[in-house]
């Protein structure tokens, strides 16, 4: 088992290994004493992994309850959020109790936001069950839900007390969901470590998770509140979030980010923000990994959603500019330039 300490304001460990779930209660007891733990999960993950965790928690003296919502990005909304809060209040959870976020990034973001806000904040544990959530979503404390106007527009930064990452859970993940995580891993490679690409291609999950968590650790420790450097982890997301929303989430996060990275890389070069055009190599890498990189939505719609990006401050947006595969920098561009930026990125 590999262990990382994330030294944020409230530090916590990320444990990465095989078959950790059956001992979940033992790991959790190192950071949360016996109490009432509410498992928040989705309909798919519930049927596969809830029982083993509940059994282990009960063996370690925890009282458990469970709230299950329908799987999928469609559920990441105010309605589900409110239903979960009401269910927890019905179960009389109080501030000495906690939450287990069991699932992919949707569950992690939702349950984390519930934890951040229920009774002004209670502890929670992230148990990621997708490649996407293991390498990114479960670590760093970004929690939130979508509004009709766009992705993740309501949220909080609320760090978990522990991240328990058992990559054996990927065994039940359909190939298409696994591929979503591949896109986020490629993002990590483009932003910080080009050598990761060979390991991603080789499906060396343990190595890729460890490196992505290690990269995320250094970025989050340097900028926990997402005021600067952390925005580098958003490469491809200005366009990607728009594509998710415009497709009514039929394009999932990972596949949207893959498309978004290529558009943003092309745009950065064509707008003269970088001398190096990585878009050709990136297109080849992603295509060989099975991604469809077509973007079939109009410029004006993508621009409209880009204007809801959280990297906007005043009349400027911070974009992530690739200087090579493995190195990116942040650059503010004015909102008046953003339209042209997207237009250039969409051209063949």
Binding residues for ligand GLY, rule: CB under 6 A, are: 136, 140, 142, 226, 230, 233
By CB under 6 A, residue 236 contacts ligand NAD: no
Cβ nearer to ligand GLY, comparing 136 with 309: 136
Q: How far is the CB of 130 from ligand GLY (least distance, A)?
A: 14
Structure tokens at 216: 């995320």
Tell me how far apart the alpha carbons of residues 307 and 225 are, in angstroms, rounded to a whole number.
21
Identify which of residues 251 and 333 has a Cβ nearer to ligand NAD in the complex. 251
Binding letters toward ligand NAD, positions 282-311, x by CB under 6 A: ------------------------------
Nearest distance, CB of residue 251 and ligand NAD, angstroms: 12
By the rule CB under 6 A, 123 interacts with ligand NAD: no
Alpha helices (H) in 121-204, listed in sequence order: 131-132, 175-192, 196-201
> Could you say whether residue 160 binds ligand NAD (CB under 6 A)?
no
Q: Report the C-alpha gap between 14 and 17 in whole angstroms.
A: 10
When the beta carbons of 199 and 237 are compared against ligand GLY, the nearer one is 237
Question: By C-alpha distance, which of 210, 128, 208 is closest to 169?
Answer: 128
Among residues 50, 56, 80, 129, the one that binds ligand NAD under rule CB under 6 A: 129
Site string for ligand NAD, 83-112 (x = CB under 6 A): --------------------xxxxx-x---
Please state the closest distance from residue 311 (CB atom) to ligand GLY, in A.
11
* DSSP conformation class of 74: G
Residue nearest to ligand NAD (CB): 105
58-78 as b/e: b if 16+ CB within 10 A: eeeebebbbbbbebebebbbe
Of the candidate spans 29-37, 81-89, 127-135, 218-226, the one that interacts with ligand NAD by CB under 6 A turns out to be: 127-135
Which residue among 56, 80, 126, 133 contacts ligand NAD (CB under 6 A)?
133
**Is the alpha carbon torsion for 168, 172, 177, 178 positive or negative?**
positive
**Could you give the CA distance from residue 322 to residue 344 in angstroms, rounded to a whole number?**
15
Span interacting with ligand NAD, options 50-58, 116-124, 126-134, 285-293, rule CB under 6 A: 126-134
Is residue 132 a contact residue for ligand NAD (CB under 6 A)?
Answer: yes
If one counts every other C-beta atom within 10 angstroms of the C-beta of residue 139, the result is: 26
Q: Are 14 and 166 in contact (CB under 8 A)?
A: no
Our CB check for ligand GLY shows the closer of 136 and 166 to be 136
By CB under 6 A, name the one of 62, 73, 100, 219 that touches ligand NAD: 73
Which pair of structure tokens corresponds to residue 87? 């269910």
User: How many residues make contact with ligand NAD (CB under 6 A)?
Assistant: 32
Q: Is 45 in the site for ligand NAD (CB under 6 A)?
A: yes
Alpha-carbon span 180 to 252, nearest angstrom: 7
Q: Least distance to ligand GLY from the beta carbon of 139, Å?
A: 8
Q: From the list 140, 150, 240, 242, which residue makes contact with ligand NAD (rule: CB under 6 A)?
A: 140
| CA diameter of the chain | 60
CA–CA separation, 177 vs 255, rounded Å?
A: 9
* Sign of the torsion formed by the C-alpha atoms of 71, 77, 82 and 88: positive
The 8 Å CB, 24+ separation contacts for 74-77 are 74/249, 75/42, 75/106, 75/110, 76/106, 76/109, 76/110, 76/145, 76/146, 77/145, 77/146, 77/147
Closest to ligand GLY by CB, 216 vs 266, is 216
Contact footprint for ligand NAD (CB under 6 A): 42, 44-45, 48, 71-73, 76, 103-107, 109, 129-130, 132-133, 136-137, 140, 142, 151-152, 169, 172-173, 177, 180, 184, 253-254
């Amino acid at each position: 088992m590999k262990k990382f300490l994330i030294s944020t304001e409230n530090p916590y460990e990320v444990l990465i290994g095989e078959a950790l779930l059956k001992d979940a209660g033992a790991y959790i007891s190192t950071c949360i004493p016996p109490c009432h733990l509410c498992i928040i999960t989705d309909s798919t993950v519930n049927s596969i992994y809830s029982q083993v965790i509940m059994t282990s928690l009960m063996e370690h003296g925890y009282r458990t309850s469970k709230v299950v919502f329908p799987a999928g990005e469609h559920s990441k909304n105010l309605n589900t959020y409110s239903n979960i809060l009401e269910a927890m209040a019905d179960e009389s959870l109080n501030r000495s109790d906690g939450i287990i976020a069991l699932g992919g990034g949707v569950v992690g973001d939702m349950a984390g936001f519930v934890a951040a806000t229920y009774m002004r904040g209670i502890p929670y544990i992230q148990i990621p069950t997708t490649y996407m959530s293991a390498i990114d979503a479960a670590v760093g404390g970004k929690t939130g839900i979508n509004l009709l106007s766009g992705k993740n527009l309501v949220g909080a930064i609320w760090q978990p007390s522990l991240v328990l990452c058992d990559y054996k859970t990927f065994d039940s993940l359909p190939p298409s969901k696994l591929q979503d995580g591949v896109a986020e891993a490629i993002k990590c490679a483009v932003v910080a470590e080009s050598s990761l690409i060979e390991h991603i291609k080789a499906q060396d999950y343990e190595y890729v998770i460890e490196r992505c968590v290690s990269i995320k650790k250094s970025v989050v420790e340097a900028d926990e509140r997402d005021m600067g450097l952390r925005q580098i982890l958003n490469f491809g997301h200005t366009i990607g979030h728009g594509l998710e929303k415009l497709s009514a989430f039929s394009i999932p996060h990972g596949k949207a980010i893959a498309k978004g990275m290529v558009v943003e890389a092309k745009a950065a070069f064509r707008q003269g923000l970088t001398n190096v055009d990585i878009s050709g190599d990136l297109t080849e890498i992603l295509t060989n990994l099975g991604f469809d990189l077509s973007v079939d939505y109009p410029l004006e719609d993508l621009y409209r959603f880009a204007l809801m990006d959280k990297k906007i401050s005043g009349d400027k947006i911070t974009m992530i500019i690739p200087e090579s595969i493995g190195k990116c920098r942040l650059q503010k561009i004015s909102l008046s330039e953003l339209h042209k930026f997207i237009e250039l990125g969409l051209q063949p």
